[in-house]
Structure 1
Amino acid sequence: MAGFISQQFLDTIEKRNFWSIETLTKHVAPGPVRNCFDTLVPPNELASVLNSNIDIVRDLWKNKHILKKDQLNILFGVPGVKIPDWAPDLSKKPGSSSKDFDITLMVCILRNFKLVPAPTSGWDILPQSSENSIGANLARIKYYRNYVSHSSNSETDDKTFQDIWATLKKALSEISSGTTDTIVHDIESIDFDQTDIDIDELIKQIQKDIEIIQTELQFCRNLKENTSSVVEGWRENLKIFYKSKGTEKVVDEIKENQVVLIIGNSGTGKTTAMHHASLQLSEDGFEIIPVTSPTAIPSQRESLQKQLFVIDDVVGPYRVNKMETDLWDRLRDRILVAFKEKNAKLLMTSRRQVHEDITQILSTMFDLKIVDLDSNELALSKHERKGMLQAYLENVSMHIDAMQMTKMCSTKIAFPLLCRMFTANENFLREKANFFRSPSVLFQQELDSLQKYNERMYCVLVLLLFFDVKELQCIFDIQRKIERRDVYALVLSACDVPEGISRNSLKNIYY
């Protein structure tokens, strides 16, 4: 109905109640249900899913008479769907997609293709309020969509309305991760006692709100797809993997605890250990969410979902990013809410030389567990280094004799990284043990990165080359005069460090 709704049209509470439910099920619910559908059946896989289940489609059409001809038109209009011989003459909708599916059709596909576990009481009975699965929430939305469609008098008494509204509100909030909460509140707040309500304007506003919701849902879907690709990349990289005391310690700690920080020097396999542990938890039903900042945690937290948030180099790889550490402090309350339930976990990595600041902050927020891959307990043994190198060499045709292997495995610095670099480059392979005993490429990379990301630490290293211990003590003691001041100034200038820098700050880096 277009134009204005007069008080005469909604002259009773019962009619107003029914209109609100109808608005919610017809105008608001399709977007979140479609997002849920697209998550379970990605648009680029829709045709393949339909083709794989064509016998079920036939049964729903010919035997059960559940699908109607107009619904077949939409299904067979999806690009890539093969039209079977039994199909009736159709004026199929060209280029159709899930955007053309209504709630009934989407739930029908998810239900009959068994893409969503059925609610305990089945799909056609209103689920118990205690059941909060995807299937149960979809069943609730479908149930009340049918209630509206099959109503004979377009009225709902107040008690029934309160029950229906609370159920629909919660179901929509769950499947939309809260994005429908605002629009539901707006509908609740409509003043029906106005002389006239402009239904056209009201519907336009609702449609505008729905478009905002759909944009947010699309963003969430794109984010999940991107995350899925990232995690698949981890899985691919871990095809070459060696279990060590350290990697298994990380798995054990994150399974038993809520927040774990992996520390170690460069190249010790912190990131690999984090990826391995993450994939282990995914097998236990955890959704893996890689983030780069604490700001992303509250917005991606779903309280009913088992989630593992992972952050690599939590405060930066070469120096502490003060802005990041400050964020943890400023977002403390929101982060604590995000991890209130035990089904949320946090796994992070940090280099040993920069972890102290974040450790201090996190220790005041959580029961933080630290796994130090360079500790005496977890550092790679010679046996583990040999096993790791052999794992990497499995796909390499070059023969490495026992003596060369022994020399290679005598190296302790950044051994996991050296194994990966060694087997990925033919020039390194030809060097054999020499590469491990003097990995100049690795040192060059580290120095280049240090110069770029932590000028002060790089400057201290250069000072060590130009000054002996006694001279350095003079530099670091503000009460004493710097000998060879001209050389000191040249080093600072070459390292892009201001000459007026606090000598005490350089001392803190050195010690």
Structure 2
Amino acid sequence: MASTSYAATEEMTNINRASRLLMGPCTDQLRDLLRHYIPPASFPAVINRWRFQLPHLTVPQRNLILPNSGMYIGTYEDMDITLLYILLRNVCGIQAQNKGWGNTPDSADRSVSANIERLRLARNQCGHSTGGMSKIDFNLVWSEIRATVVDLDKVLGINYEKEVDFVRCDTMDPMMEQQYRDQLLDQMKEIVNITKTIDSLKKNEYKKDTFQQWKEEDKLFVPTKASEKIETLIENNNLVIVSGHSGSGKSTIIQHIGLVYLKRGWVVFPVDRVEEIREIYVTGKFREKETIFIFNDPIGKESLDDILFTTWKTNEHMLTLFLERVKMLLSCRTCVLDDARVRGLLKDNLKSNSIVIDGNQCKLSNDEKRKIFKKHVPNEDTTEEELAEILQTETYFPLLCKLFSKKPYSSNYAINFFKEPFEVVKMEIENYRVSHKPKYCALVCLVLFNNKLCYDDLEVHVQLFERCLKICEISIHPNTIIKQLDTLKGIFVKKIGGTYYFYHDFLMEVTTFVLGMDNPRETIRYADVSFLRKRIRLANTENKNEFTIYVEDEHIDVLVERFFKEIFEDRFIEVVLNPCLRNTNVIEHLKEKLQQNSVALQKSMIKRNMKLQLEESEHTVKRHFFPGLTF
């Protein structure tokens, strides 16, 4: 009796047909696109000129285009879709699409780079669809690929559209199906290996640069009774929480202790996200009883961050188990830990395993303040009376000493600086805005790029960079922004590796305040949506904070417009959690906007459901075949 147990299903035929399209006509079209930008005869010279700017290549890729034995002598037919994407992105001078290379483009963006991205994303989707592809998903993917091919045909003057239609109607030979499917899966495995190598190199480099930054700052470290208590506490416990107000020295102390353990030969992990700890736990890349994590602001900075806190709670069981084998030293602002929603592991350890460094028992004494001030400004010519007035400062004292040492002021100005740091820094930024626009623009870029900026970010996220320039009413090259950030090192910014950050949250908060008060509408339109969730509030909000940007009712229209736009993007959850959505006027305006665009909203929800299904399939593949790796 004939068996149908192993007969081809419609779903598997769909995924194999899509694989055939991508491995066949789409790859050939990308080869012709490479010929369009770089004629084969010019390729050896071009690739040799760009060899040091290329991202990490696999050994076969490097041997193909940069052979040790001499010049490239192959043909474009030797290149697969992965290598073609790398070359088109990095050596052809193709302008990045609006969302930047490596990101999902807007549906309205039909640029060359946006269409190259669509083929890459379709390849990834097919590679991760291990169980086949439904008819609905297949039709959507096919339509997207076909539209992309038609767009690229217009650039090339070649008709690949007919090849797409031929593959759609042609019969599928079982051996041919498997061949195309195997090719696609081989490429996906190659991508995973590349990603693993790149991630490892980046993490090691970042860790090395972070330790170097810590060592530079540690040269001015002054032991205090608070730091000594924390050292004793972490010796005897696996979790210690260091709390205090902004600028009180929390990070400085836990970094110092991290360096102490590094000298002892321990494995020290500076981490920014709880997911990093989970990855280390899952992969087992730690030494039991000789590993310590240094973690600043795990659940929020200015206030409890709903997304970060949810992630922490999700991983709390893992953290509890892991803390039996490693140590963890956390810093957190007091106002965040005081939030009534904080429960579980953090709350349980607040009484016995925490130090409030600016509380009554551990706050800096005048003697400790004097030592810190003299360590940072050894040659400052202040009288005892002036110094006594400076030592009365409670808020931000350790931070202000650092900042004062980097930017010398006269003695009279020093007193004002320590008494009114917000006003002094605000005036400095406002002076940049008027008299040193490139410096001001560099700080604006750092704010709108979410406090993490390197040269490549300015090149890739062209649209966001242009918005920064528009806000500052200036036209300058990305190189100028980087040069200006270099002039601000130690004053406003710090540099770890090739990436710039604000020197301290306080400086970002003041810069953000100046930007938002001067340009509320532009800030709402262009700032990252997570920035809006954390920083923007309506003027009638209770419990106001001096660093928050408060906007009037007249700005509700632009706020609703931004929320509406983001609902159709990947950051939907940031809109849902935005505190401004608690305002009745905002809710009513947004409801009205959604009702006027109900058809577009329905289409968006269908796409989002498909994306969630894809992410779930990716998660399954990673869990079963590639644990611990990132696609």
Structure-1-length-normalised TM-score: 0.47
More helix by share: 2
Structure-2-length-normalised TM-score: 0.39
